[in-house]
Amino acid sequence: MTNTNHEYSSDQNTNTSNSPINPKRIVLERLKVCSFVFLLSLVLSLLHIGCLIKTFTGISCPGCGMTRAVESALLFHFEKAFYYHPLFPLTPILLLLFIFDDFVKKNLKTILWTIIIVLFFGIYIYRLLFTANDVVSIDIYSGKVLELLNKISAWEVLHD
């Protein structure tokens, strides 16, 4: 059921009174999500864990290096920021698109997200194939999942 007047339909659990959506509440909820992601990233950085995807799989994700890039840019180390992730200047745009999503026209939103996704994956593939750096890499042997699977299979062999 398409709901064009920005009201929740009666079959949704979040608001069954058919009252209008409060735009300020939506923005505040999205700001909370951004704050949580920022704090999680800060904690992971302080614990020297870094990217969870890379830690578990050994494979860098398209966003790998973005946190270090933004940190470097905030310290005015732009050359270092571009090294970590050349799309770091998109960070404010991504945040604004996420926070104010409901205020952007659907066609414009579709175009912007398509461009952003193509850029991220294009740069990711380029960095994997054509650059030698320690930011984007594939090393499944360093991933925790494979390490765990190896321990499980070694345990099974010992106990058979």
Please write the tens of the pLDDT for every residue from 116-150.
Answer: 999 999 999 999 889 888 888 888 888 888 888 88
Number of structural domains, the chain?
Answer: 1
CA atoms of 149 and 69, how far apart (whole Å): 33
**HSE on the CB side for 15, CA within 13 Å?**
10
Q: Does residue 13 fall inside a structural domain? A: no
What are the residues whose beta carbons fall under 8 Å from the beta carbon of 7, sequence distance 6 or more?
Answer: 18, 19, 20, 21
Residue at 14 is within a domain: no
146 within domain boundaries: yes
Does residue 5 sit within a domain? no
In a domain, 53, yes or no: yes
Asked if residue 76 belongs to a domain, the reply is yes
Q: CA distances (Å), 27 to each of 63, 69, 93, in order?
A: 24, 26, 15
Domain of residue 83 covers 25-158
Supply the pTM of this predicted model. 0.67
53 pLDDT higher than 60: yes
Confidence of residue 20 (pLDDT cuts 50, 70, 90): low
* Whole-number Å distance between alpha carbons of 54 and 68: 14
